[in-house]
Amino acid sequence: MQAIEQPKEKAGNFLLGDRQVKRLGYGAMQLAGPGVFGPPRDHDAALAVLREAVAAGVDHIDTSDFYGPHVVNKLIREALSPCPQDLVVATKVGAVRGEDGSWNPAQEPDQLRAAVEDNLRNLGLDRLEVINLRIHPDDQARGDHSIAKSFAALATMQCEGLIRHLGLSDATAAQVREARGIAPVVCVQNEYNLAHRNDDTLIDSLAADNIAYVPFFPLGGFSPLQSSSLSAVAARLGATPMQVAIAWLLQRSPNILLIPGTSSVAHLRENLGAATLVLPRDAVADLDTIGAKKP
């Protein structure tokens, strides 16, 4: 599907829960130490990135208490408390970290409640605006894993007033349908970028229902996107390859909310600069070949 050009003056907003947010937000994962484990290399620099993001108009930050663990949420609290009223902080539950930095499933109701309480405490909040249930890759590998028990546990906490809105991370289309049968889903956070486009159909179906799609690893994650087509388009437009990759996602569908992450103020400003970059149709055609499925 070819992306549609948008007006140059803004990337626009989209609904996240019951809040309109700017479509270009910030992902805080990289503020933790190497491997998303332990403290940041530079504590003050991490605080500076968070404060710069909000000062630049970012109103949607993605985090989790298993980043660190606990490290990133505490940084957010230190940098931004009291939380600005127009800032939406979205977090994730469903995993815990081992002492070796491993990512282990924590999907049982008591584990999810403990994770919600950890997020509340470390963020310094009385209620979490958005929580995504992260489905563990090992569960996905075993087939069409049911998330009903886990999602129902979060829905119970939503009824208790601990959570305002629910979402999913690493979810299949079948799991999205299953969750929506239990409680409203306001966002789905899956891997998606120029080179990884398995969710094309899901994005379009969510857009039809006014549900946000939040790509993680929008710039390739731990292995940044590398493509001669991407580099060539960036050179033609006088932009960086990462700005072009962000602009392509913004033009892909109006329900896409982006959370590119960085631990650098300069890189943050570069990412935010992509909000005004509009890709001409020939550039979109070239970029679409990067993730095109071979016959």
Strand pairing partners for 258? 24
Selecting among 26, 67, 192, 213, the annotated active-site residue is 67
Other CB atoms within 10 A of residue 280 CB? 12
pLDDT in tens, 241-255: 999 999 999 999 999
How far is it, in rounded angstroms, from Cα 140 to Cα 276? 37
**Residue 173: which pLDDT band, with cuts at 50, 70 and 90?**
very high
Among 76, 166, 161, which residue's Cα sits nearest to residue 123?
A: 76
Instruction: Give the residue-averaged pLDDT of 170-194.
Output: 96
In the residue annotation, 67 being an active-site residue is answered as yes
Contact 216, 259 (CB under 8 A): yes
Does pLDDT of 293 surpass 70? no
Average pLDDT, the chain: 92
How far is it, in rounded angstroms, from Cα 189 to Cα 192? 9
How far is it, in rounded angstroms, from Cα 106 to Cα 18? 28
Q: Is the dihedral of CA 45, 49, 50, 56 positive or negative?
A: positive
How far is it, in rounded angstroms, from Cα 187 to Cα 173? 12
Architecture of domain 13-226+254-262: Alpha-Beta Barrel (3.20)
**Residue 8: which pLDDT band, with cuts at 50, 70 and 90?**
very low
The single residue listed with the structure tokens 């894993």 is: 145
Strand pairing partners for 261? 27
Q: In angstroms, what CA-CA distances link 294 with 289, 290, 291?
A: 10, 11, 9
Task: Give yes or no for a cis peptide into 109 (omega within 30° of 0).
Answer: no
Instruction: Give the residue-averaged pLDDT of 70-83.
Output: 97
pTM of the model: 0.93
- Contact residues for 226 (Cβ-Cβ < 8 A; gap 6+): 220
- Contact residues for 196 (Cβ-Cβ < 8 A; gap 6+): 217, 291
Chain centroid, CA 250 distance in Å: 13
Q: How many CA atoms lie within 13 A of 293 on its CB side?
A: 6
The confidence score (pLDDT) of residue 145 equals: 87
Element (H, E) at 189: strand 185-189
How far is it, in rounded angstroms, from Cα 156 to Cα 128? 14
**Residue 141: which pLDDT band, with cuts at 50, 70 and 90?**
low
Sequence ranges of the domains in the chain: 13-226+254-262
The confidence score (pLDDT) of residue 143 equals: 58
Instruction: Give the residue-averaged pLDDT of 46-69.
Output: 98
Token couple for 85: 């009223």
Does pLDDT of 93 surpass 80? yes
Contact 101, 67 (CB under 8 A): no
The single residue listed with the structure tokens 């095109």 is: 292
How far is it, in rounded angstroms, from Cα 207 to Cα 248? 17
How far is it, in rounded angstroms, from Cα 79 to Cα 51? 6
The confidence score (pLDDT) of residue 223 equals: 67
Q: Above pLDDT 90, what percent of the chain?
A: 85
pLDDT in tens, 271-292: 999 999 999 999 999 999 998 6
Among 16, 1, 8, which residue's Cα sits nearest to residue 166?
A: 16
**Residue 136: which pLDDT band, with cuts at 50, 70 and 90?**
confident
The confidence score (pLDDT) of residue 130 equals: 98
Chain centroid, CA 26 distance in Å: 8
Instruction: Give the residue-averaged pLDDT of 15-43.
Output: 96
The confidence score (pLDDT) of residue 11 equals: 67
Contact 249, 279 (CB under 8 A): no
